[in-house]
Structure 1
Amino acid sequence: MKFMPLRIPFEHTLACVRVRVHTIRVSQTSVRLEKAVAGLSRSDRVAMLRTRMRAMERGPEEELVDTLPGLARLLPAGGLARRQVVHCASCPALVVELICHLTARGGYVGVVGWPDLLLAQVAEEGAIERVVTVPDPGLESWMVAGVLAEGLDLVIHHGPPGEVSPTKARPVLAKVRSGRAAVLTVGTRLPGTAVGIGARVSAYRGVGKGSGRIRGVDMDVEVTSKQATSRGVLTVGERRRLEAV
């Protein structure tokens, strides 16, 4: 059976995301919490709440979106944090790898405003049916991204280079902070973004002189944040091999 990414027209985005993903997960969380405290004494309930608060302060693993290990090591939070915005260079190879990695592990990804992003690799290595694309969001691309952030795990917004005005960004950031997704902006930047990912393809492997196919890619990656700048090489596919000559 051949799967295709779910393409949602702008006018249907809000209803589809809230009904299909977000509302169900919130309800399940509430049920689990009620079952956990049922039958506990007052002191035990207080102790449980304190434990949960300490776990929240530590930044639990479930607050991070499943990310490529090589990239996660460079990010200050140890991964892409939910309800946070990260700016990324326009490197389709890296973005597609992120989508493959996350969807293969059960995550849902939204792509807004990037009609020419090739997702064939996701069909082979990830789960293309877990990708929601809104290729032509019109003038409301940020509103669409904010709605998707309510229910998906990762939302990628693509736009022309520049920065959104604080007035226009305010409602978008409010939706991101109240949602559940990590948001990756490519091209257009939201104000106050604290982490940036720079990436470029530095080497291809598997291609000979006019023949063969690409079996591996090296990407030079640089992550900048208020704390530090981290650099590394991210290898996907076939790794570099030393050969005797």
Structure 2
Amino acid sequence: MKFNFNYQKFKRNIKTLFSYLLPWIGFSIILFLFAVISEIIEKNVEANPFYFKTIGDYLLILEWLLSGIIPILFVFLAKKEPYQTISKMGLIAAFTFISTLVPLPLMWKYFGNYITQQDVNKVISNTILTYIVFIVALIVGYFVTLTVSRKIIKKNNWWMFIFAMPYIIFYWIIASKYSQFHNFVSSSHYKSSKVALMVNSSKNPNIMLMNEFWYEIITLIVIVLVIELGVIVFAFLQEKISEKKERC
């Protein structure tokens, strides 16, 4: 039995397969790059990254800044679909970024210095304020997202639910974290004087580690940034492939 190999058909099939895979490859590359960066940060970041002692400190602060800046820029730069819709999905990162600014004054004030009981109480109050600002940012962010998405919502009301999903997920996460934090500071075993003593006994006193929520917010908004960039790359490659097919 003679086997006939059709090279042209094989070539067309390979091109078709590649056209389907390329957008996913682009998306995967974005995820891989940020995974590598996250691994470097995790292994090298210092207790207070604003001292810029390691490459991990620089990368963490860079990610933090970009996660607040890029979503806003993209809203203004996106001129057509699907990029406009993608940009609106990323607004949650820009608004919740605001809450990461709350602990900054204390991060410089208390790192490496002797900690008193009053300092611990101030950090607790600052942490609670961070949670409050985060919640307010979520609420405002959602309504702003709905406002700038009026046209697409008029076409299909399901977009209200789709836009709400990341906000619901973020709220669920913060509710869980705040419950843990509240249980800790409300415990009968908790005493700010003991916390101050424990912090001062460490090599580099850093009371801001009590506000782990700051690092968790950064993690959340960086994840949003990575997904947004990945989807942008996916949409861009898919658009270029479609244009090439139309020309052919």
TM range (shorter): under 0.3
- Comparing both structures, which one devotes a greater share of its residues to helix? 2
Larger Rg: 2
Structure showing the higher strand proportion among its residues:
1
